[in-house]
Amino acid sequence: VPCSEEDVASDGACNTDGVPKPGIDLAQAGYQKQWGPDGRDDLGTIQRLGGNAVRLTTSLGLESKHDHGAFLDRAQDLGVHVMPGFYTQMPCPEFDCFSAWKAATAAAFKDGYQKNGSWHPAIAALVIQDAPDSLNFGGLPPPTCQVGKEAVCRVKAALSALDGVLQAEEEAGIKTTVNLTIAWSFDQKDSIDGVVQQGIGTYGFQDMIAGVADPSIAGYTPISGQTELQKAFDGRWMHSTNTASPWSFVKEKVGGEYARFLPKPWFLSEFRGDSMSGDAMTADLKAADEEAKSGGPFVGVNVFSFQNDYQFPQPQLYGLYGVGPTQAASGGSTDDVCQEDVNTHVAECRKWKVYCLNATTGYMNRGDAVASAWGGRAVTHGTCPSAAVAVGPTGAQLHAAVEVVV
């Protein structure tokens, strides 16, 4: 989001009473000065880092009045696959997310996500929900889950959201399909059917197997029908999980238990590398990349995240880049960028400064670490003039992705 560290100080541009916060759907056309080739060129930067995909955590469900197709066109031109994500905190009364996800998908088809009667060819997968096991859904009031029924609540939410997407596809006459996933948290839980006991991340994989086979296990009756859910799951599903743990631990706890989930592929929907040094992150990403190229079920990593997020009380400094305080060389500001209230659908819009990107330095040095792992370079068109010297040769790398998160 377009907030520098200074902007989140008291009375800063991103922290002023009565002034809306920046919209967090970063694929909307209003942000073109950030991701477009005539602006800061964030998508080009991801490619030059060596990434071949980008995950957008909140690009479906929050903004329905402006074009998103230009973002997808630019990504396609660069050979960068896009994994759009639904805003998970949409209304889910009694954990039934069908209506909100169906409406968000239908709106997306009008905003550039479909092309010639199919999903836009830049889209590789839809992230239907992020960490639904947190049970952090919206609504007036938000739903509450009975103690001891958490697995039922999360699986009902997951199945109903998937059902809504499929129904919107059918009604829009979408002919081709894209991969589907849910990004589960890396918590340790039992699956809804008890087949997985205290699985780390993998409880969600088994949740979907059991829930799709028999939706009544979660008290849900799919509008599309169980047969259509099963067809989509069999032909389109990828398992995924978010993690802050090192690759060696993930490989042991997920990869070591994955035989029961074959032949479906899996990937790390979010790799944070908490407190990891730059050298350690480079080594981890290289090891994960080798695994992804080995021909097994593991297919890649999304690195969290493209830039630091200073808006939280404890800023999330996991970015490959810092932001500002200098404006980007392209200058100017965004166009109006908007965000709709998920209950009233009333939008708030505003323009924001476009800052240059500061390559992170010091112990973590995440930008250079990722570039070194993927054979790319961290200093590119959008970085600040004082940024450090580039690391490594340019060039694309398979199985490498950057996550755009807020």
Q: What is residue 236's predicted lDDT score, i.e. its pLDDT?
A: 98
Closest CA to 125 of 165, 65, 89: 165
pLDDT per residue as tens digits for the range 339-353: 999 999 999 999 999
Say what percent of the chain tops pLDDT 90: 79
Q: What is the mean pLDDT of residues 303-315?
A: 83
The answer for 274, left when phi > 0, alpha when psi is -120 to 50, beta otherwise, is beta
For position 203, which CATH number holds?
3.20.20
Query: Does 326 reside within a domain?
Result: yes
Whether the CB-CB separation of 309 and 316 falls below 8 Å is answered with yes
Is the pLDDT confidence value at 61 over 90? yes
Query: Does 245 reside within a domain?
Result: yes
Residue span of the structural domain in which 373 resides: 6-404
Q: What is the mean pLDDT of residues 37-59?
A: 96
Residue 90 token pair? 């949409």
Query: Does 1 reside within a domain?
Result: no
Query: Does 165 reside within a domain?
Result: yes
Q: How many domains, the chain?
A: 1
Q: What is the mean pLDDT of residues 70-91?
A: 98
pLDDT per residue as tens digits for the range 352-401: 999 999 876 666 789 999 999 999 999 888 888 765 433 333 332 335 66
Q: What is residue 384's predicted lDDT score, i.e. its pLDDT?
A: 86
Residue 238 token pair? 């990828």
Query: Does 228 reside within a domain?
Result: yes
Query: Does 139 reside within a domain?
Result: yes
Query: Does 294 reside within a domain?
Result: yes
Confidence band of 74 (pLDDT split at 50, 70, 90): very high
